[in-house]
Structure 1
Amino acid sequence: MSDLLRLATAGSVDDGKSTLVGRLLYDTKSVLADTLDAVHRASADRGLATPDLSLLVDGLRSEREQGITIDVAYRYFATPNRSFVLADTPGHVQYTRNTVTGASTAQLGVLLVDARKGVVEQTRRHAAVLALLGVPRLVLAVNKIDLVGYDEAVFSRIAAEFTAHATALGFPGDAVVGIPLSALAGDNVVERSDRTPWYTGPTLLEHLENVPVEADPHDAPLRFPVQYVIRPRTAEFPDYRGYAGQVAAGTVRVGDPVAVLPSGLRSTVTGIDTADGPLDEAAAGQSVTLLLEHDLDISRGDLIAGGTPPRVTDEFEATLCWLAEKPLLPGARVLVKHGTRTVQAIVTELRNRFDEQRLGRTGSPDSLALNEIGQVVVRTAEPVPVDDYTHDRRTGAFLVIDASDGGTLAAGLVGAPLPVPDGVTAATEGGGSAPTDSHALVSPGP
């Protein structure tokens, strides 16, 4: 049985991400015949002699009309060696928030650059986002190598520049692989190209098939956010009380001692139910219903934990990727959604803002604007059980929500340090500039 690799593509606009994904789907024969016929017809209508493979990915009408990616497009394909879940993320700066979404569960990032342009601002921004989110491995896909005459010197220069930047962000040297390719022509995507005899590394697909995958750590401490309490109260099940949800981390077994947080109550797992019948154990990613020995007061939003429990606190430091048009100000009143629990909160302090271009930080900024990354202090109205993001990507992440309209404002990472060496400051005078549109602010509370 093949294993699974979750990957995300990123890069600047027009670097060819959708065409690359389309090429992977096309060359691995992962496209249905009717879908391929539709792409051939659409390409012919545009006067193209060959099919536009980006149309296999760009599904929204606005994407097809503009020739860009706006939403995160998830695609699934498989080879005899491995199955893949691929998130094709947008390249425009205003859609960086979608890149955060697509990369949040990725085990590998494919970062494209145009061989004619090299490493640009958005390349460095996306690399910083991937580093912050803890994506362990990167592929630098130097695309459109055909448009620079398959020049080895061009590829070497871009690869060296990007590797230095990725290393400064904390990626180990062996975690970054550069591949020269042409998504349009198919060079080094699935089939090895004889037009790059100087390149002796793997094709993109060969690398994806063979790169080590770090599986979900089933030996990690159990984290089970309760989504729903099941109490049928029928004649057949008069005393049934189960707690439904998905195992976020670790493994749970019948007989395991557990703690219920934030209350701290303790009990023992007496059963694990599923729609297909009872289990002796369940691991991360499985949706199950847990039965406990004691009749405890447990509701949606509580966390059933095993092993070393997370800390329960009403104040924590976090890194925010700000995703909203309206900037964040110190003192903003928001909602924090962590797991299945949503609580009122205040962002009491903005400590640092990250400069992903210069790899520096600005201390005590006045605000965080769209796509900016910064360290903050969050105080919640009630205690929440949190893990550090560096220890557990699932239970260390949270969302910041606008209490007035329910819109998502930021992706938060508990305790995650900014990917920059200590003591490095950004070349920005003062504490950062205040936003000019006072009507677009996330306003502090009274």
Structure 2
Amino acid sequence: MRMEAADAQVAAYLRQHETKGLLRFITCGSVDDGKSTLIGRLLHDTRQLMDDQLDALAADSRRHGTQGEAIDFALLVDGLQAEREQGITIDVAYRFFDTERRKFIVADCPGHEQYTRNMATGASTADVAVVLVDARKGLLTQTRRHSYIVSLLGIRHVLLAVNKMDLVDFNQAVFDAIAADYRALASQLGIPHVQCIPLSALRGDNMVERSAAMPWYGGPALLEALETVSVDRADAQEAFRMPVQWVCRPHQDFRGFAGTIVAGTVAPGDGVVVLPSGRRSTVARIVTAGGDLPAAVAGQAVTLTLADEIDASRGDVIAAAAAPPEVSDQFAAHVLWMGDEPLLPGRPYLLKIGTRTVGASVTEIKHKVDVNTQDELAAKHLELNEVGVCNLHLDQPVVFAPYVDSRALGGFILIDRQTNATVAAGTLDFALRRAANIHWQHLDVDKAARAAAKHQVPRCLWFTGLSGAGKSTIANLVEKKLLALGRHTYLLDGDNIRHGLNKDLGFTPEDRVENIRRVAEVAKLMTDAGLIVLVSFISPFRAEREMARSLFDPGEFLEVYVDTPLVEAERRDVKGLYAKARRGELRNFTGIDSPYEAPVAPELHLRTTEADPVALADAVVAALWLDMRAPGS
């Protein structure tokens, strides 16, 4: 009987720990506010450390000597050698621990401004933010910066840890003043729930238990606040949403759609709609590795089978038919820029939202936000760690919800097309409704008909190279030769376009991007008219040339690299532009103080130091001739 009772107790204990809730929280604040020390103290005082870890910690503390003979709890979290040497946090450090009441995943976020993007990464999945403030210093610039990002990323609960109270003699007036300042900031930022706690992470005061050193404080210790904070879990009460992660087709008799439910509940027989296609069906089965379920809720990973054969793929969203989410391709959004190179409107990126990845560009930066003061500032680009309110255009519609309603369907990242690096994180605010009212108008006369009337195959020849490389000279010769062959052409020259269509643009990186975007759209329209269009633009950035290529059908766009060494281009300098740039009279001049990114694999590579312009033009025509002849011409 004793053995059975013991087994029952063990089983009950295991069940209790299996069903404990999980809380994700971050620690953030300014440099040296004690974030790593606070986490280390929590791990130590909740008995999460093994004896060998304690021995190693004691040895590390003696070696680094930051706390004399005492233990330096920050070393438990600051794992990078650079962090230990400098005494700062650089990367986000994640730690797991649990108590009798809850399980926790904590992200220790860096305090330095240049690591703001790391802090945002940690905050993106957190339920609660522990914002540390040094009692001696009060609210600092970085406190405000981190609190703004906390509010931007939808964290509604903040525990303000006023640390190092021992260094101000546990003065209640100091604590009350800091707490009042922070509550005013939280109100300004729209953070609804704030709990202020005075503590000393190094000494352990008000960390796990109430401290006798601060009898005037009647609130909970930090651990108690973490164990009892009530985080709203409204996902289960919302309408059903499940982004499709994978189409499961093990054999011809089974077709299921796998994913994690991000909102609501679902049961067999429920009506659903697959978006963005809008096809409707009902749920037939909810399949899991452990067998079919009678129902599933937000947070569960399941495979749904539908009663009808519906074409759905990764990135689609299966939703409640009675309350479907919105679909759009243009948005207003907040963007936190994480790239080392600036964000330029018009430059193409990839946008990943949920399980869907589409092409995207920022069409306009409405303003950037001073995250220290929340002032709105005019901006033409965004630099590293800056936040902007932007308009986004996607090349395909996506299913979304405003971020304030759904992190899963309202949060996104931007990805550099060439490096695949994540360069921004963002939150969708709302769809630009005007875009939903614009549709493609069907035209009976299409590109094929226009080209057939001209007895040719439309093409875009994109001549790129340094100023003075000979682009316009060669393009002009090519057009004359094509005209002599009876071809219908048009030459778009960079200088000529800047007298009209692009006369409002300068030569900043932002204006260069817009310059190429506009001429690429014009060239697309001309090929749609059945023409062979020749584009002669420096077009210094690979990203913009790839954007231009993406507008055309496969094989329709030919990149022609007019390759002239910089020293030769300067020697020619018929316009005197290089000389002016060398004297500082022309800013942002390609090859001098603005880079030229040479094509990696152009369709045609013309080396101007090896042949004269006539021979190079002949080479272009020869390469095109067979391709340009339409059948029967």
Aligned to 1:107: 127
Aligned to 2:551: none
- Alignment partner of 1:128 out of 148, 154, 178: 148
Quote the Cα distance in structure 2 between the aligned partners of 1:82 and 1:395. Answer: 28
* Amino acid of the structure 2 residue aligned with 1:8: I
Q: Per-residue displacement from partner, 1:7-54 (whole Å, max 9, x unpaired)?
A: 111111111101101111111112233322221221233344222211
Aligned to 1:161: 181
Aligned to 1:267: 281
From the two aligned structures, give the one with the greater helix fraction.
2
How far off is 1:318 after superposition? 1.0
Aligned to 1:36: 54
Query: Residues 377-396 of structure 1 correspond to what in structure 2 (within 5 A)?
Result: 377-396=391-410
Aligned to 1:342: 357
CA contact (8 A) 1:328 1:442 kept: no
Quote the Cα distance in structure 2 between the aligned partners of 1:416 and 1:203. Answer: 40
Secondary structure in structure 2 of the residue aligned to 1:232: strand
- Alignment partner of 1:289 out of 303, 310, 334: 303
Secondary structure in structure 2 of the residue aligned to 1:218: helix
Aligned to 2:163: 143
Secondary structure in structure 2 of the residue aligned to 1:272: strand
TM-score, reference length from structure 2: 0.64
Quote the Cα distance in structure 2 between the aligned partners of 1:355 and 1:247. Answer: 36
Q: Share of identical aligned residues, percent?
A: 52
How far off is 1:370 after superposition? 1.4
For residues 283 and 60 of structure 1, do their structure 2 counterparts lie closer, same or farther at Cα, with a shift above 3 Å needed?
farther
- Which deviates more from structure 2 when the two are superposed, residues 348-357 or residues 74-83? 74-83
How far off is 1:216 after superposition? 4.7
Query: Residues 282-431 of structure 1 correspond to what in structure 2 (within 5 A)?
Result: 282-306=296-320, 307-363=322-378, 365-415=379-429
How far off is 1:443 after superposition? 6.6
Aligned length in residues: 422
Quote the Cα distance in structure 1 between the aligned partners of 2:268 and 2:72. Answer: 53
Q: Which structure exhibits the higher relative contact order, with contacts defined as CA atoms closer than 8 Å and separated by 6 or more residues? A: 1
Tell me which stretches of 4 or more aligned residues in structure 1 moved more than 4 Å. 441-446
- Alignment partner of 2:219 out of 201, 206, 213: 201
- Alignment partner of 1:246 out of 243, 253, 260: 260
TM-score, reference length from structure 1: 0.89
CA contact (8 A) 2:93 2:107 kept: yes
* Amino acid of the structure 2 residue aligned with 1:212: S
Aligned to 1:26: 44
CA contact (8 A) 1:10 1:89 kept: yes
Quote the Cα distance in structure 2 between the aligned partners of 1:294 and 1:324. Answer: 44
CA contact (8 A) 1:181 1:187 kept: yes
From the two aligned structures, give the one with the greater strand fraction.
1
Aligned to 1:428: none
1:97 aligns with 2:117: yes
Quote the Cα distance in structure 1 between the aligned partners of 2:357 and 2:315. Answer: 7
RMSD: 2.3
- Alignment partner of 1:257 out of 268, 271, 286: 271
How far off is 1:177 after superposition? 1.6
Structure 2, unmatched stretches of 5+, are 1-15, 432-507, 514-540, 549-633
Quote the Cα distance in structure 2 between the aligned partners of 1:198 and 1:143. Answer: 16
How far off is 1:387 after superposition? 0.8
Aligned to 1:422: none
- Which deviates more from structure 2 when the two are superposed, residues 336-345 or residues 147-156? 147-156
For residues 416 and 211 of structure 1, do their structure 2 counterparts lie closer, same or farther at Cα, with a shift above 3 Å needed?
farther
Quote the Cα distance in structure 1 between the aligned partners of 2:163 and 2:509. Answer: 37
How far off is 1:57 after superposition? 1.6
1:118 aligns with 2:138: yes
Aligned to 1:3: 21
How far off is 1:381 after superposition? 0.8
Quote the Cα distance in structure 1 between the aligned partners of 2:52 and 2:276. Answer: 52
Quote the Cα distance in structure 1 between the aligned partners of 2:51 and 2:327. Answer: 53
CA contact (8 A) 1:329 1:443 kept: no
How far off is 1:442 after superposition? 11
Structure 1, unmatched stretches of 5+, are 418-433
CA contact (8 A) 2:360 2:394 kept: yes
How far off is 1:184 after superposition? 0.5
Quote the Cα distance in structure 1 between the aligned partners of 2:300 and 2:81. Answer: 35
Quote the Cα distance in structure 2 between the aligned partners of 1:272 and 1:187. Answer: 50
Quote the Cα distance in structure 1 between the aligned partners of 2:191 and 2:34. Answer: 24
Q: Per-residue displacement from partner, 1:76-104 (whole Å, max 9, x unpaired)?
A: 22222222221111111111112111111
How far off is 1:4 after superposition? 2.6
